[in-house]
């Protein structure tokens, strides 16, 4: 994968053309999520259409299942949008392992969540850099890559973009890092800015988040 | 998502054009995988370039870490390519949870594996049907979808194609089902044919496997 490898794609696939060739409906909001304090959509239930910084303020001790009914969301291990991040796209999550990254660091907690903005699935773009502070070679990606190593990717690269998820392991597994245009001004200068749970710069797969 | 929604894409993106606009290198083989009997690439080590139906015949009691160096592979929970399936694309898998689907049914075993053929990442296509035996509405997909529900997908649909992975939960989590052109003649008439571990027809995300 070289500098010249991806840039031609930008000329060939302008955003307007991509939209035209993708007639699938892409709802852009409003957001809606229903959470339950027991597995399999049982127990106490509450609907949200905006961010919840602390589920204990809603008399929940934890969230054990959820349904995303509209929009894309990100859940967090701790209150105040801290700790491990979990991408939550539309669908049913009957238990904790449906959204977890299946990590060694395994704590079954989802204590805060918020809606996220992401581009039309076919129009998403992200720019990745060889070194931190946006130095070195750069590539603009517009597709999902379950294995970055298959593209000749090194481990010391940093990304910037919005509505994308990066993962520690191939195939979208392990620690998840959600990158957004409206956080850090859309720019992530160093892998430590990916989240409070980021302990290494290693990412092995990257994909768009679907609204 | 309707019948008319995806077909125009086929006219606009013929395979030759997609290849031209995707100059990223896509190795098509040979295959190579290195497996270890301890986590973090420690302990006994063995390289394979073809299928292994039973790791015990190679004096391994289990595989606890692995590196995919070339091609895409699928791992299995049991010997003889049975049980849970794990997509293995190029990259490093330092422990079991790097390849697992983070399931309730959590057994840390990988007892057989084999290389799989998949199309060029940009040229992959899969046809999905509303009902089993290829009846009802059909759609041809050529992109990854982390949430099929966001596209209006129902749960009773059946797929056919090759080099694709379907998942129980959104975001490529839960049970994995690897679909290939050279198994079942590339046709899966019923969800029970997805694998010996398939217990329901529910799939909530689908993606291409990367060579």
pLDDT in tens, B140-150: 888 888 988 88
**What's the pTM value of the predicted model, to 2 decimals?**
0.78
- Tell me how far apart the alpha carbons of residues B150 and A58 are, in angstroms, rounded to a whole number: 28
Number of H helices, E strands in chain A: 2, 13
Closest Cβ opposite residue B98 in set A22, A26, A173: A173
- What pLDDT is attached to residue B29? 63
Is residue A187's pLDDT more than 80? no
Chains A–B, number of C-beta pairs less than 8 Å apart: 173
Rounded to a whole number, what is the distance in Å from the CA of A195 to chain B's nearest CA?
A: 19
Are residues A170 and B68, on separate chains, in Cβ contact within 8 Å?
yes
Q: Tell me the percentage of chain A whose pLDDT exceeds 70.
A: 76
Q: Residue A103: which H helix or E strand, with range?
A: none
Higher pLDDT among residues B175 and B9, named by residue: B175
Determine the pLDDT at residue A184: 62
The answer to whether A91 contacts B148, with C-beta atoms less than 8 Å apart, is yes
Is A92 in contact with B148 (Cβ distance < 8 A)? Answer: no
Residue of A204 and B152 predicted with greater confidence: A204
Mutation choice for B interface testing from A7, A101, A102, A108 by most B CBs within 10 A: A102
- List beta partners, residue A70: A32
Asked if A89's CB is within 8 angstroms of B150's CB, the reply is: yes
* ipTM greater than 0.90: no
Strands (E), A13-146: 32-38, 42-48, 65-70, 72-78, 82-88, 91-93, 112-116, 126-131, 135-141
pLDDT digits (tens, 9 = 90+) for B100-156: 876 666 678 999 999 988 767 777 788 877 777 777 777 888 888 898 888 777 665
Query: For residues B189 and A190, what is the distance between their CA atoms, to the nearest angstrom?
Result: 48
């Amino acid at each position: 994968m070289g500098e010249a490898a991806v840039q031609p794609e930008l000329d060939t696939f302008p955003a307007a053309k991509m939209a035209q060739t993708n007639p699938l409906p892409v709802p852009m909001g409003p957001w809606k999520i229903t959470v339950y304090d027991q597995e399999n959509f049982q127990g106490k239930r509450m609907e949200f259409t905006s961010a919840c910084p602390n589920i204990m303020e809603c008399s929940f001790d934890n969230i054990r299942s959820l349904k995303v009914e509209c929009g894309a969301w990100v859940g967090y291990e701790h209150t105040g949008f801290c700790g491990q991040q979990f991408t939550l796209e539309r669908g049913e999550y009957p238990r904790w392992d449906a959204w977890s990254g299946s990590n060694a660091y395994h704590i079954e907690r989802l204590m805060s969540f918020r809606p996220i903005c992401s581009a039309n699935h076919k129009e998403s773009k992200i720019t990745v850099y060889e070194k931190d502070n946006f130095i070195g070679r750069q590539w603009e990606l517009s597709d999902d890559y379950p294995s970055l190593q298959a593209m000749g990717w090194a481990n010391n690269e940093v990304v910037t973009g919005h509505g994308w998820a990066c993962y520690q392991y191939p195939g979208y597994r392990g620690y998840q890092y959600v990158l957004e245009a409206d956080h850090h001004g859309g720019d992530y200068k160093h892998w430590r800015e990916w989240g409070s749970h980021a302990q290494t710069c290693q990412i092995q797969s990257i994909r768009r988040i679907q609204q």
